[in-house]
Structure 1
Amino acid sequence: MAKIISIGTAVPAHQHKQEEILQFMQRVYAMNETDKRKLKFLYHQSGIQNRYSVISDYSKPVNEWKFYPHTENLEPFPSLELRMGWFNKYAAPLSVDAIRNCIEHKIHSDEITHLITVSCTGMSAPGLDLQVMELMDLPKNIYRSSVNFMGCYAAIHALKMANSICNNEKDAKVLIVCTELCTLHFQREGTIDNITSSMLFGDGSAAVLVTHDSYNHPGLVIKDFYSEIISKGKKDMAWELSSSGFLMTLSGYIPELIEEDFEALVNKSLLKSGIKKEAVDYWCIHPGGKRILEAIHKSLQFTNGQLKESYKVLNDFGNMSSPTILFVLKAILQHIDFNKEQNIFGAAFGPGLTMETFVASTHA
């Protein structure tokens, strides 16, 4: 069996209040007063107070913008090349910050045997994995792999890979780092998809250290994984390349689809793991948005703050895509008592519509 030893997180230097981003977007979308009021209502209902970005522009006056042009019509609007240039500049240092936060007082960097990088907001070859290797001076023969373009559930997919590696190699020390710079891809057209994306997403990075259960350090034992695709939601959540960046499709039906199917998914996952719902002490749910958390709360008939860590991460950081669930898990780990048997159920959602879950415990 494999276990999670530690989780580290990092965010960019620029913190933006949700109200500041609202004012920026009202300008970008060139809205009339009626539409501005509607957008303001949506932002105030988002459950988000702060987000972080590698871009300072969202809370700066026009003459101090660094990423967007100072022109009235925002031309030339940032190209895909510019966005990827910024990703290549900022993603690796942010990843290293998360990794160092993760392994501090746990292991030395030269003990890392496997590196798995995760991102859906930037791609290149050589890519993030080699950049991290160089910045941290990791061994040239390190095993490395990349999980690209899988979206918000990709961290769980990477944990599956780490689990398999550690089950086969008892001395493995697998380092996963999920880094997303979502705010590089905000778009100018005032479509409902673009408005929703610019209201929800932020930048962040999270790293997790996974070892075999025999490693002499307390950790969260990974029990099992389970995933399903809701085929009827295939077109409701999508992530595609375009000449002006990556384009997000986020249908308003997603919370309804999740509410309808989530309880059955949980029951199947717990049955596979041999754990009853009543035995779950913590629910580590990806905060894709306030309405998604409300849908899960209703689907599972929660009554007593079972999703408080998810709501807190959403409030403080927004939806950062793949690292977000690790931010939630890190918050949960601060409450865990490793002297007791405690169980965690985790779930995240992404394009497909894909729902990925994991079950972990303080005891094997």
Structure 2
Amino acid sequence: MSITNDQGVNLKHVKLGYNYLINNLFTLCFVPLIIVTSVHLSQTDLNDLHHVWLHLKFNLITILICFAFIVFGLTRYILTQSHPVYLVDFACFRPADHLKVPLHYFMEHSRLTGDFDESSLEFQRKILMRSGLGDETYAPEAMHLIPPRPSLAAARAEAEEVMFGALDNLFQNTKLKPKDIGILVVNCSVFSPTPSLSAMIVNKYKLRGNIKSFNLGGMGCSAGITAVDLAKDLLQVHRNTYAVVLSTEIITQNWYSGNKKSMLIPNCLFRVGCAALLLSNKSVDRRRAKYRLVHAVRTHLGADDKAFRCLYQEQDEAGKTSISLSKNLMDIAGNALKTNITSLGPLVLPINEQLLFFATLVMRKLFKADVKAYIPDFKLAFDHFCIHAGGRAVIDELEKNLQLLPCQVEASRMTLHRFGNTSSSTIWYELAYIEAKGRMRRGNKVWQIAFGSGFKCNSAVWEALQNVKPSPNGPWEDCIHKYPVEIPL
């Protein structure tokens, strides 16, 4: 689902510019005419007024036409020019220690529930061993009980804990007053209560009544970038305001207690997490902001049936609900990535890389030459990479396809190890890791890339406006000195 349309926004701006020009054409043309006349009068005496009038009489039409074109062009340029969007700061939620789930604890807990047969237990054990997750990821309170109690009340409790925890931290670090928020965008894929999660935030912090509030559901792990893109478009329209974007996944009700293998994988990978962002279009915030949003590029392959169903919420034969992962998930993700970087590449790559890519594309498509597809060197465009930590296979595949170095996927691997797959918020834990390591310098560009159900591949590009330091109470504050760690093969 796409709820924003850049082309529509641009056409709207053009139409506004056209209406402004036509409605004020007489005034806009009459004012410069007065100015020209005044200049001539100041340089001539009364005896030359007749010559001035004759000069203006023969050139009036030309002046009006030229000026109309100039005014129209300037008006269109001003109205269609995008305003900078700044990321003032962001905060990632760090759960309490008692919610940690070591791998052996997870397996013992799964065995004690009595929900799984031996084949399913062995399958989960193998997934965990190859997952890249460590022993300090977090599960919600209801999942620590035997048997698990994934009730609606427990899911609401998890939502309140992670959302309010992240927002409290954000407000404290930025000194933002909740009443100053003009736009609120919340994304959570599988948990969509009534009232909505965004309404829960409005109620908790008593946000103002005219706030532009949005709640995105069912959009998967890439929805965080979708939410940022939506907030960006809104900040182009609503001037001099703040937007808060909150990305999370509430997993209490997503625990699967059946024995269908493709539906057991989310149990092993998904963990508790949440990120809250403060975006601003105020020029005064440029001095204190950490980043500027450079690009947001979204790719949707939902028109293809296989892509549409490769991540699919369904019920098994026993009526138990979970997310089913298709075997061809990585192939579909690869196709989505190719489509996305085809759009992103011309925006960020040096001209020499673009020419090489275009040349090989022409050879393959037009001349049917047996030439290997050229993969642009994105290391020339970006200083840091935040690849969605959906699983070890996802990181491995992108490291290989984009020809990245181990140090460039370190943030993704360490986030997966420490926090697991926290869905749409993982890319923010990764950015927090880079900051905590002191690696983000002024002018550096970072590429966030995420995949989600539908099937989608979304990219966001940020530029650091300063030598970024980690914010207080960050997710890595108590453990960054331990990382990176060696992850067994």
Task: Determine whether 1:51 maps to 2:137.
Answer: yes
Q: How far apart, CA to CA, are the structure 2 residues paired with 1:222 and 1:159?
A: 9
Q: AA paired with 1:19?
A: H
Query: Using a 3 Å threshold, how does the CA distance of structure 1 residues 315 and 51 change in structure 2: closer, same or farther?
Result: same
Counterpart selection for 1:326 from 414, 428, 453: 428
Counterpart selection for 2:289 from 191, 205, 218: 218
Partner of 2:172: 104
Q: How far apart, CA to CA, are the structure 2 residues paired with 1:123 and 1:244?
A: 20
Counterpart selection for 1:166 from 224, 235, 247: 235
Shift of 1:302: 1.6
Residue by residue over 1:34-88, the C-alpha shift from the partner in whole angstroms, topping out at 9 and shown as x without a partner, is 6644532321111001321222543x6x4xx5x44xxxxxxxxx5xxx2x33222
Residue by residue over 1:282-327, the C-alpha shift from the partner in whole angstroms, topping out at 9 and shown as x without a partner, is 1111111101110111111123321111111111111121222222
Partner of 1:265: 340
Q: AA paired with 1:268?
A: S
Partner of 1:74: none
Q: Answer yes or no: is the 8 Å Cα contact 2:250–2:272 preserved in 1.
A: yes
Matched residue SS, 1:305 = helix
Partner of 1:24: 109
Give the TM-score, by structure 2 length: 0.65
Q: AA paired with 1:171?
A: N
User: Per chain length, whose mean CA-contact separation is higher, i.e. which structure has more relative contact order (CA < 8 Å, sep 6+)?
Assistant: 1
Partner of 1:187: 256
Q: How far apart, CA to CA, are the structure 2 residues paired with 1:35 and 1:140?
A: 50
Q: How far apart, CA to CA, are the structure 2 residues paired with 1:103 and 1:197?
A: 32
Q: How far apart, CA to CA, are the structure 2 residues paired with 1:350 and 1:139?
A: 32
Shift of 1:189: 1.3
Q: Answer yes or no: is the 8 Å Cα contact 2:298–2:457 preserved in 1.
A: yes
Matched residue SS, 1:249 = strand
Counterpart selection for 2:385 from 283, 301, 304: 283
Shift of 1:244: 6.6
Q: How far apart, CA to CA, are the structure 2 residues paired with 1:2 and 1:274?
A: 22
Q: How far apart, CA to CA, are the structure 2 residues paired with 1:226 and 1:284?
A: 15
Written as runs of structure 1 = structure 2, the 5 A alignment for 1:336-351 is: 337-338=440-441, 340-351=442-453
Task: Determine whether 1:354 maps to 2:456.
Answer: yes
Query: Using a 3 Å threshold, how does the CA distance of structure 1 residues 16 and 136 change in structure 2: closer, same or farther?
Result: same
Task: Determine whether 1:253 maps to 2:328.
Answer: yes
Query: Using a 3 Å threshold, how does the CA distance of structure 1 residues 249 and 98 change in structure 2: closer, same or farther?
Result: same
Task: Determine whether 1:137 maps to 2:206.
Answer: yes
Q: How far apart, CA to CA, are the structure 2 residues paired with 1:214 and 1:176?
A: 19
Query: Using a 3 Å threshold, how does the CA distance of structure 1 residues 2 and 354 change in structure 2: closer, same or farther?
Result: same
Partner of 1:41: 126
Q: How far apart, CA to CA, are the structure 2 residues paired with 1:37 and 1:306?
A: 33
Please say which of residues 279-288 and 117-126 is displaced more in the overlay: 117-126
Structure 1: 4+ residue segments shifted above 4 A: 34-38, 240-246, 273-276
Counterpart selection for 1:310 from 400, 406, 412: 412
Matched residue SS, 2:229 = helix
Q: Answer yes or no: is the 8 Å Cα contact 2:120–2:261 preserved in 1.
A: no
Query: Using a 3 Å threshold, how does the CA distance of structure 1 residues 260 and 124 change in structure 2: closer, same or farther?
Result: closer
Q: How far apart, CA to CA, are the structure 2 residues paired with 1:105 and 1:151?
A: 28
Q: Answer yes or no: is the 8 Å Cα contact 2:349–2:381 preserved in 1.
A: no
Query: Using a 3 Å threshold, how does the CA distance of structure 1 residues 298 and 96 change in structure 2: closer, same or farther?
Result: same
Highest Rg: 1 or 2?
Answer: 2
Partner of 2:310: 236
Q: Answer yes or no: is the 8 Å Cα contact 2:294–2:463 preserved in 1.
A: yes
Matched residue SS, 1:97 = helix
Matched residue SS, 1:345 = strand
Matched residue SS, 1:42 = helix
Partner of 1:90: 158
Partner of 1:120: 189
Partner of 2:397: 295
- Bigger fraction of residues in helix: 2
- Bigger fraction of residues in strand: 1
Paired-residue identity, %: 19
Q: How far apart, CA to CA, are the structure 1 residues paired with 2:411 and 2:336?
A: 22
Q: How far apart, CA to CA, are the structure 2 residues paired with 1:241 and 1:110?
A: 42
Matched pairs, number: 344
Shift of 1:348: 0.6
Partner of 2:471: none
Q: Answer yes or no: is the 8 Å Cα contact 1:182–1:202 preserved in 2.
A: yes
Matched residue SS, 2:215 = strand
Q: How far apart, CA to CA, are the structure 2 residues paired with 1:133 and 1:38?
A: 42
Gaps of 5+ in 1: 69-77
Q: Answer yes or no: is the 8 Å Cα contact 2:107–2:121 preserved in 1.
A: no
Q: AA paired with 1:325?
A: I
Q: How far apart, CA to CA, are the structure 2 residues paired with 1:363 and 1:213?
A: 15
Residue by residue over 1:210-234, the C-alpha shift from the partner in whole angstroms, topping out at 9 and shown as x without a partner, is 0116133223111112122343422
Matched residue SS, 1:16 = coil
Matched residue SS, 1:93 = helix
Matched residue SS, 2:273 = strand
Please say which of residues 92-101 and 341-350 is displaced more in the overlay: 92-101
Q: How far apart, CA to CA, are the structure 2 residues paired with 1:36 and 1:126?
A: 37
Q: Answer yes or no: is the 8 Å Cα contact 1:177–1:207 preserved in 2.
A: yes
Partner of 2:25: none
Query: Using a 3 Å threshold, how does the CA distance of structure 1 residues 87 and 37 change in structure 2: closer, same or farther?
Result: closer
Query: Using a 3 Å threshold, how does the CA distance of structure 1 residues 244 and 314 change in structure 2: closer, same or farther?
Result: farther
TM-align CA RMSD: 2.6
Query: Using a 3 Å threshold, how does the CA distance of structure 1 residues 133 and 247 change in structure 2: closer, same or farther?
Result: same
Q: How far apart, CA to CA, are the structure 1 residues paired with 2:342 and 2:155?
A: 39
Partner of 2:221: 152
Give the TM-score, by structure 1 length: 0.85
Matched residue SS, 2:395 = helix
Q: How far apart, CA to CA, are the structure 2 residues paired with 1:304 and 1:90?
A: 35
Gaps of 5+ in 2: 1-83, 354-377, 467-489
Query: Using a 3 Å threshold, how does the CA distance of structure 1 residues 38 and 139 change in structure 2: closer, same or farther?
Result: closer
Q: Answer yes or no: is the 8 Å Cα contact 2:155–2:252 preserved in 1.
A: no
Shift of 1:281: 0.4
